[in-house]
Structure 1
Amino acid sequence: MSEPTDSDRPFSPLDFEADKYRYSIQRPLVSHPDYDTLLIASRQSTEGGDLKRVILKPILLGHGHELRTRAVEEVHLSSFLRHPNIASVLGSAFNDEMAYVVMDMDPGRFLLSIMDTAISVQRKLSHGFAAYVAAEVADALDHAHRAVDDEGRALHLVHRAVGPMSIRLGHNGRVQLTNLGAAWSELMGRIRTPPQMLRGDPAYTAPEILRGFEKPEAGQRDPLTPLALDGRADIFSLGLVLLEMLLARYPLDPPDTLWLDIELRFPPEVRGERPSSLLPLETLANRLLHFGPEEVQHATRELPEPLRRIVTRALRPEPAERYATAGQMRDELRDFLQATGQPPYGAKQAKAEVKRLFALASAPAELPAYSIVEMGVLPVPPDMNLEDED
């Protein structure tokens, strides 16, 4: 669908007006059962002027007025975060029964798209790329974890959804952290997450969030929200993302036989924010709960010692044994980048590496079929007819 060229174009079913802006939804950016739906749209003032391309995220958790409230909350929370590595949120928009969070759209790709492309062309991301991306995300998290409200009160924010689909690389090589919709904070007046609902991406959830069903703390109201929940949960999630970039595979994908002797199973009544099309939540949770130091040591055995040390500390099962702050993890990653003897790895080098990677993927007929998550970043193999997919 082409972009509109002026404000006089007749409305289509994908057009709506909200809060002095006119929106025209162009196409999905992400439409996948495991991730938030994201829509590419153009936005223009109802008084005319330039068009701006934006991303609309429909709010799907809740009904009626709750949808609007959750959208407003996400926008409000994001207003306390001003950091170059945190994606800008422009506001909210409402159309009939739909509520949207409106986000700035910079040209780029999600980290998951880059990782999947590397696998498709049988390449591994460089150690420099993985360390650079993780360091930039850690820098963003450090800012978010220290955020305060208008009156200077600490928000104690925990992102809870750090994963390859909440990390985006611009075409300029800059890294941004997205998706604050699942964030936990002490911002006054926020709607509580429904009980026994796991927010964020279950595949990267810290074990302390899952342990409430095994050993609930005294006074713990929600078994998935420990009393001492803090930013160290995000450090664990980032450690898993870092390890996945380094290994070119999801770290918790060994044979299920490794866990056949586990007597205590994660309760099936706990549900994720959306049903997974890959693995049952119970399977993911049990893998996370039993991914201990021995498993991490085995997974990192071929990594350079500095990276192995960073990953091992980030993935300690007990929060007290991890980095105390995301800033500490960022600093050690940047030390690694400076100590390799090569020119420092930064946005320029990341841009060049991603460009080379996608150049290899320019001939889809030669690639194996792959799952489409972020639409439009790769050519569609000729044997895949997206129009027939549910």
Structure 2
Amino acid sequence: MEKDKQTVLVVDDEQPILNSVRRLLKTAGFEVLCASDPVNAIDILKSNDVNVLITDYMMPGLDGIDLLVLVRENWPDLASIMMTASPDVRVAAEAVNRNLIDFFVTKPWDSKNLVELVRRAAAKNQPAATGSGQLFGKYRLRRLLAQGGMAELWLATIKGAEGFEKKVVVKKVLEHLSRDPNFVEMFIDEARMMSKLNHGNIVSVIDFGQEEGSYFMVMEHVDGPDLRQLLYGPDGNENSGNEAALPVATACFIARQVALGLDYAHRKTDDSGKPLGLVHRDIAPQNILVSREGVVKIADFGIAKAEGIKRRTTPGMVRGTLYYMSHEQITARPVDHRTDIYALSAVLYEMLAGRPPFLGATHQETVAQIVNGSYPPLRKLRREVPRQVVAVVEKGLRRNPRFRHQSAAEFEHELGVAMLKSRLSATQADVSSLVEKRMPREDEEQW
């Protein structure tokens, strides 16, 4: 193979598709390898230097999701693209949320878009942040915060009269997905759902629309890190142990604030008074934002479940971040609001222990631990955690939802009582001090 060419591995059980993609990418200057099934793909990956993996979702035997899980475990830096039929678009979106893929493309694909996605995927470790300082409708894009397989997240500003300027966050859908009606429907569902939520512990949606061919959503800017960064540092790299753990009282305060936001969302009704049946389904440290003022907010309802919203997912699709998935999630059973309570209990455990409760050496080991409900006793990892607090965490982590707290309000109340009995006290000011200590403010970036 020529050294200056990027190598792409295409996996699909339909030979005409393999031939079509091979011709397209070879013409675009890529070296192309093909596999007709995931097992063959693993063998190719073991014996070749591959830059980009493109895989179909639905294949016999080991499917595309199973392949992507194995790839993330063994080749974590390999850029991955999922090909999916349009009715499966939510499956692909959820695979992005689970960090299994970097991009996805729907069938039938646009040749130009597919080549551009492959080029972007091949350069994923050196992304070019274009557009800084440019106007996007009435918003000026200032800095690219994150770039994923579905959207770009920009820090932006909006100006008003008398020199007024406000920071916001613009979630800008990738252009090729803005032309996909199924993805657009999903994005509109998310925006519509989030716009109904107005609570101090939930990130609010300010605006929604379409500009320059891309759909976008505008959210409030939270000046501070997410909880994962607060635990493990700016890069969010795990470093197990008490050096990552938070002060016990502060961890409990943060968990109670998240519970208040969840209770509001779980009880939310539509205009006629009918319960929305909203379940976040991905309560995890990266989706909990902590401001420098000590305010705690839940973010990213992108894979939330709500009654009355059409879903195009395949039955049995597992949704969420693995370490915080409940027993019913991991076994692809129906979920309700108690799944969020379980995930919040897992997050509280992590804040107290400096590691998640379920942490296997591989994906399969972690799944087995969740299914069996086996995790290290909290007080063995950190003796200073009061027994009353441990009891609340353990109740929230029970495998059977019937034996957990039956509402987020109940979780919040019992944790408050446990703090009182343990003589623990924390305030918003304590959270603010912790953020400043662990994440000192750097010089403002010059625009």
Aligned residue number for residue 208 of structure 1: 328
Is contact 1:252–1:287 with CA below 8 Å preserved after alignment? yes
Counterpart residue number, 2:224: 108
1:69 aligned partner: 185
1:135 match:
256
Closer, same or farther: CA 137–129 of 1 in aligned 2, 3 Å? same
| Structure showing greater Rg | 2
Matching residue of 2:389: 307
Query: 2:439 corresponds to which letter in structure 1?
Result: F
- Whole-Å Cα distance in 2 between the matches of residues 62 and 378 of structure 1? 33
Alignment of 1:326-345 (within 5 A): 326-341=408-423, 344-345=425-426
In 1, Cα distance between equivalents of 2:186 and 2:207: 12
SS in 1 for 2:233: helix
What are the residue-to-residue correspondences of 1:93-104 with 2, within 5 Å? 93-104=209-220
Counterpart-to-counterpart distance in 1, 2:405 and 2:329: 17
Tell me which of 288, 309, 313 is aligned to 1:193.
313
Call closer, same or farther: CA 1:297–1:111 in 2, change over 3 Å: closer
Shift of 1:377: 10
CA deviations 1:115-140 (Å, max 9, x no partner) are 01397794531001110010100111
TM norm structure 2: 0.61
Q: Which whole-Å CA distance do the structure 1 matches of 2:162 and 2:282 have between them?
A: 37
Give identity over the alignment, percent.
Answer: 26
The answer as to 2:43 corresponding to 1:43 is: no
Aligned to 1:264: none
Q: Which moved more, 1:143-152 or 1:200-209?
A: 200-209
Distance 1:311 1:167 in 2: 18
CA distance in 2, matches of 1:36, 1:317: 34
**Compared CA separation, residues 175 and 315, structure 1 to 2 (3 A):** same
Q: Give the one of 56, 65, 70 matched to 2:170.
A: 56
Decide whether the 8 Å contact of 1:68 with 1:94 is kept in 2: no
Distance 1:378 1:134, change over 3 A: farther
- Measured on the aligned residues, the alpha-carbon RMSD in Å equals 3.4
User: Higher relative contact order at CA 8 Å, sep ≥6: structure 1 or structure 2?
Assistant: 1
The reply to whether residue 167 of structure 1 matches residue 281 of structure 2 is: no
User: AA paired with 2:328?
Assistant: E
Task: From 344, 351, 376, give the equivalent of 2:432.
Answer: 351
Number of matched residues?
Answer: 308
Residues 90-122 of structure 1 deviation map (CA, whole Å, 9 limit, x = unaligned) = 122323453322111031111111001397794
For 1:340 and 1:27, locate their aligned partners in 2 and report how far apart those are by CA, in whole Å.
Answer: 44
Contact 2:357 2:376 in 1 (8 A): no
Amino acid at match of 1:144: A
Deviation readout 1:197-238 (Å, 9 max, x if unpaired): 433323211110122xxxxxxxxxxxx351xx2110001100
3-state SS in 2 of match to 1:109? coil
Unmatched 5+ stretches in structure 1:
1-10, 212-223, 257-278, 363-375, 380-390
SS at match of 2:206: strand
* CA gap 1:171/1:157 in 2 versus in 1, 3 angstroms: same
CA distance 1:145–1:243, change in 2 (3 Å): same
Whichever residue aligns with residue 39 of structure 1, its letter is W
Alpha-carbon spacing, 1:296–1:175, altered in 2? closer, same or farther (3 Å):
same
Structure 2: runs of 5 or more not aligned? 1-129
- Distance, in Å, in 2 between the alignment partners of 1:126 and 1:152 is 40
Which structure carries more helix by proportion? 2
Partner of 2:249, secondary structure, is helix
Query: What SS does structure 2 have at the residue aligned with 1:165?
Result: helix
